[in-house]
Amino acid sequence: MLFVQKFGGSSVATPDHIRRVAQKVKATLDEGHQVVVVVSAMGDTTDELVAKAEAVSDTRSGREMDVLLSTGEIQSTALMAMALEALGVPARSFTGRDAGILTDFDHGRARILAVHPQKLQEALAAGVTPVVAGFQGVNARDDVTTLGRGGSDLTAIALASALKADRCEIYSDVAGVFTADPRVVPAAVPLAQLSYDEMLELASQGAQVLQTQAVDYARGNGVVIHARSTFQDAPGTIIDHRGAATNQAVTAVALNKRIAKIGLKGVPDAPGVAAHLFEKLARHGINIDLVIQSLSHEQLNDIAFTVALDDAEAAERLSREALEELKGQGLVVDRNVAKVSAVGSGLLGRPGVAARLFRALADAGVNIQMIGTSEIKISCIIAREQAEVALSAIHEAFGLHESGRLETD
């Protein structure tokens, strides 16, 4: 079988870690399989490179940032290839360009357009184990691009798809996807299986196990992802189109504390008001998440929405502008909020789940400020200081501490 095995930054943080990962790769090879290894930059290398760039310039071109950031992963490839060779395994490092990863021109968050993995296939055919630098590709001008933070996941999934690999294993320091972040909810347990859609919701809700774009790519190309722990022997989590065959309404809960809430009070109840506000935000590249508009009263509406905390300042400024232009009555900005979400394919067409969640929050003394729902998600905006309590309450109300290991049929 052909395996793609991706190792995250904490799995290759030191030379010692790299030697242990090399042993692990060798163990798979010794079972008679072929492996394409994908590596992230060592430990916090990428953050350190970003800090250095910030220290030399306020205006950093996307091209130079990508040249700089791509070097983190390249270091890891050469070291990993050496560590494999030291174990007697013929190995060879490949940059994103060498691996044939072609992207668009969007520096810093490029999308993969095509993968031409001939060089990797030649290496495999010659009995050489390729070690590929994650997180990078090359655009049609032959400039290096990077795939967004966490983008080595995407590299691994794109290669698994292009090479028609039998398995795509994403190794990190956690034992897969949990029913909640175990640092917040100690009762959280690893999930045996979940669907792409559930994983996408969890990833965009702030669960940081896998890059969102990578999960989306896997869904689009039918790549089954196996998220596992590098140094712990645990079964990990399978992510595919089926998800778990359980009759649970909720699969997992997620918490995002890096958000802010902004509300415009008393704007006219007329066509074009919401469009005016949100077009302004969109023009400045600000993503909005939950939106509520109140029932109108006296031809006036209140509109509230949430944004990432990093965008709060810009969103506040633009909202104030819009408020004045619309002759609204006031602006509310709250930077002390959090979002708790319950995610599960089992929510589809099942009445009463939202009520159960609201009851759990009420019993925990948590006030709900905003509510948003999709087919497989219910989110509530609450005070940030109650975030942990709220998450644990929902986790318990849906019995998630005993749901993790459910088998599939």
Q: How remote is the C-alpha of 101 from its chain's centroid?
A: 21
Which range in 38-46, 77-85, 228-236, 311-319 contacts ligand ASP by CB under 6 A? Answer: 38-46
| Backbone φ, ψ for residue 150 (5° rounding) | 80, 10
Q: What are phi and psi of 38, to 5 degrees?
A: -120, 135
Q: Reduced to 3 states, what is the DSSP secondary structure of residue 221?
A: helix
Q: State phi, psi for 343 to the nearest 5 degrees.
A: -120, 135
How many residues in the shown chain lie near ligand ASP by CB under 6 A? 13
| Beta sheet of 144-146, edge-to-edge order | 112-115, 101-103, 136-138, 144-146
**What residue 149 binds from ligand ASP, Mg ion, none (CB within 5 to 8 A, per partner kind)?**
ligand ASP
By a kind-dependent CB cut-off of 5 to 8 A, residue 205 interacts, out of ligand ASP, Mg ion, none, with none
Q: Which does 135 bind (CB under 5 to 8 A by kind): ligand ASP, Mg ion, none?
A: ligand ASP
User: According to CB under 5 A, which residues from 250 to 289 bind Mg ion?
Assistant: none
Minimum distance from CB of 117 to Mg ion (Å)? Answer: 22
- Report, in Å, the least distance between residue 13 CB and ligand ASP: 11
Identity of the residue numbered 249: A
CA–CA separation, 44 and 34 (whole Å): 29
Query: Pairing state of beta strands 252-268 and 237-240?
Result: unpaired
Instruction: Tell me the one-letter amino acid at 83.
Output: A
Residue 134 as a binder of Mg ion (CB under 5 A): the answer is: no
Among 3, 5, 7, 9, binds ligand ASP (CB under 6 A): 9
Residue 8 C-beta: closest distance to Mg ion, Å: 4
Q: With respect to Mg ion, which residue has the nearer C-beta, 8 or 176?
A: 8
- Nearest alpha-carbon partner for 92 in 120, 62, 67, 66: 120
Among 117, 130, 150, 346, binds ligand ASP (CB under 6 A): 150
Q: How far is it, in rounded angstroms, from Cα 56 to Cα 51?
A: 9
The region of 39-47, 104-112, 114-122, 329-337 touching ligand ASP under the rule CB under 6 A is 39-47
134 binds, among Mg ion, ligand ASP, none (CB under 5 to 8 A by kind): ligand ASP
Angle among Cα 213, 219, 221 to the nearest 5 degrees reads 100
- 135 lies in the binding site for ligand ASP (CB under 6 A): yes
User: What angle do the packed helices 196-204 and 212-221 form, to 10 degrees?
Assistant: 160
Instruction: Examine residue 40 and tell whether it contacts ligand ASP (CB under 6 A).
Output: yes
151 contacts ligand ASP (rule: CB under 6 A):
yes
Query: Does the protein bind Mg ion through residue 150 (CB under 5 A)?
Result: yes
Residue number, 153 or 302, with CB nearest to ligand ASP: 153
Whether the CA torsion 70, 72, 74, 77 is positive or negative: it is: negative
Between 209 and 400, whose beta carbon lies closer to ligand ASP?
209
The verdict on 96 binding ligand ASP (CB under 6 A) reads no
Q: How far apart are CA 2 and CA 124, in angstroms?
A: 10
Q: Which does 46 bind (CB under 5 to 8 A by kind): Mg ion, ligand ASP, none?
A: ligand ASP
5 binds ligand ASP per the rule CB under 6 A: no
Burial (Cβ within 10 Å: 0-12, 13-18, ≥19) of residue 145: buried
Quickly count: other Cβ atoms within 10 Å of residue 49's Cβ.
17
Query: Which range touches Mg ion (CB under 5 A), out of 81-89, 104-112, 148-156, 333-341?
Result: 148-156
Q: Using the CB atoms, write b or e for 356-378: b if 16+ within 10 Å.
A: ebbebbeebebeebbebeeebbb
Residues 298-317, mask of contacts with ligand ASP (x by CB under 6 A):
--------------------
By CB under 5 A, name the one of 6, 8, 195, 277 that touches Mg ion.
Answer: 8
Per this entry, what is the length of the chain? 409
Out of 5, 34, 95, 152, name the contact with ligand ASP by CB under 6 A.
Answer: 152
Which parts of this chain interact with Mg ion (CB under 5 A)? Answer: 8, 150
Which parts of this chain interact with ligand ASP (CB under 6 A)? Answer: 8-9, 40-41, 46, 72, 134-135, 149-153
